[in-house]
Amino acid sequence: MIQDPWFYFVAIPAVLIYGIGKGGLGGSLGVIAVPLISLVIPAVKAAAILLPVLMLMDIFAVQHHWRNANYSLLKNMMPGACCGVLFASLFLSYIPTNIVSATIGALCIWFGLSFYISSSQSIKSDLKRTFFWSALSGFSSTTIHAGGGPASIYLLPLKLNKVTLIATMVVFFTTVNILKLFTFTVIGAFDKENILTSLVLMPLAPLGVWLGVLFLNKVNRRLIYNVCYFSLVISGGKLFWDSLPL
- The string of pLDDT tens digits covering residues 35-60 is 778 778 887 888 889 899 988 888 88
**Range of weakest confidence among 50-59, 66-75, 91-100, 135-144:** 91-100
Between CA 222 and CA 110 the distance in angstroms is 19
Q: Residue 209 in 3-state DSSP? A: helix
DSSP tag of 39: T
Burial class (CB in 10 A: 0-12, 13-18, 19+), 117: exposed
- Please give the tally of structural domains in the chain: 1
Between CA 55 and CA 32 the distance in angstroms is 17
pLDDT score of 164: 86
Question: Which structural domain, as residue segments, surrounds residue 237?
Answer: 5-242
What angle separates helix 127-144 from helix 43-65, to the nearest 10 degrees?
120
Whether residue 121 is predicted with pLDDT greater than 60 in this model: the reply is no
Whether residue 221 is predicted with pLDDT greater than 70 in this model: the reply is no
- How does residue 178 score in pLDDT terms, banded at 50, 70 and 90? very high
pLDDT (average), residues 16-30: 69
One DSSP character per residue, 86-126 reads: HHHHHHHHHS-HHHHHHHHHHHHHHHHHHHHH---S-----
